[in-house]
Chains A and B, each alone.
Chain A
Amino acid sequence: MKQSKDTKNKGNKRPYSMYFLAFVIVLYLVLLVIDQKKMQESLILSWNLLVRILPAMAFIILFMGIMHYAVRPGTVMKYMGKAAGGKGWFLAVLTGIFSHGPIYAWYPLLKELKTQGAREGLIAVFLYNRAIKIPLLPLLIYYFGLAYAIVLLFYMVAASLIEGVMIDFINKGA
């Protein structure tokens, strides 16, 4: 049942993105009829943007490949499920950062962890840190610089821990 739900979501993802692309192409066609010059300007601007970010994209594919090769979901769950105390927070941060793939693929595993007694705070830390995408760093650095990327990631990790502690605190009070 779980699997069929996941598969359904995975299958739905692509058509929506294709509809979105088709919608934007229709906007361009409408603009072509109304104002050809503006349409050309828009296309040139988009092309220039695409060319600018292409090198970062190549790095993203390479980093995604490395992550997929090095990090297995089973290993991530094994460490996070066993961890407790300070080590638990640390591992939740690390496993969140290094986990990959679509989020819906992780929900059944997280549900299993919760059933086995993992604290909700740790699950929240894991989910928050999934927002830190190592393979996407080249693009973040391209737009905002290395210093910004380091500062942002530092605060995001700190925020994830605050969120985890607060969730555990709220759960204790409930």
Chain B
Amino acid sequence: MTDKEKSKQKQPTFLASLYKAAKSFARMLPVMIAVILLLGLLRTLVPKETIAHVFTGRWLPDTLLGSAIGSVSAGNAVTSYIIGGELLKEGISLFAVTAFIVAWVTVGIAQFPLEASALGKRFVCVRNGLSFLLSLLVGIATTATMMVIK
């Protein structure tokens, strides 16, 4: 069998790919549903003033706090979009929300042991440190650009 024939055999059909995607999505569902239920609880039980108290409304501390919370959080990016979007609706600044989303998806504290075993501790420490700092910059740059555009 030629290499071309082998690669043709390995190529899944689109339906098979869609089925695999649905299965991957199903694996995300328990956490997504849990987060949605948790957001419902928080919106009912935690007054807006409490959230406003944690996020001061000042861009620098809020961006730092957003990055810090995003860095220690773990999970699929979908979850960060949902939480970030809902926080924005609660009046949290775009600086904080953007930094939170970017840190969530780029800083991988939860994957640290596995990544370090494959790529080395030093690489993972430097990469995560830089990703944290860059999440602040991306948060500030994105929000500032959006202010100019609007």
A-side contacts of B102, CB under 8 Å: 131, 152, 156, 159
- Decide: B21 and A28 in contact? CB cutoff 8 A: no
Task: Count CB-based A-B contacts (< 8 Å).
Answer: 182
Pick from B50-58, B59-67, B111-119 the stretch touching chain A: B111-119
A interface secondary structure, majority: helix
Q: How large is the interface on A (under 10, 10 to 19, 20 to 34, 35 or more residues)?
A: 35 or more
**Nearest Cβ on chain B to A112's Cβ, whole angstroms:** 9
B31 touches A155 (CB 8 A): no
Partner of A42, one of B33, B41, B81, B111: B41
> Is B106 in contact with chain A by the CB < 8 A criterion?
yes
Q: Is the CB of A104 within 8 A of B127?
A: no
Contact mask B19-48 → A, CB, 8 Å, 1/0?
111101101101101101111110111000
Complex contacts, A21 vs chain B, CB 8 Å: 30-31, 33-34, 37
Q: Does B82 contact A (CB under 8 A)?
A: yes
Complex CA distance for A107 and B111, rounded to whole angstroms: 11
Assess the B130–A163 pair: CB atoms within 8 A: yes
Q: Once the chains are docked, how many angstroms separate the CA of A152 from the CA of B117?
A: 31
5 additional A-B residue pairs with CB within 8 Å, beyond A101-B24, A133-B77, A139-B81: A53-B82, A65-B19, A103-B111, A123-B123, A144-B88
> Which 4 residue pairs across A and B have the least CB separation, nearest first?
A46-B40, A143-B85, A64-B21, A65-B18
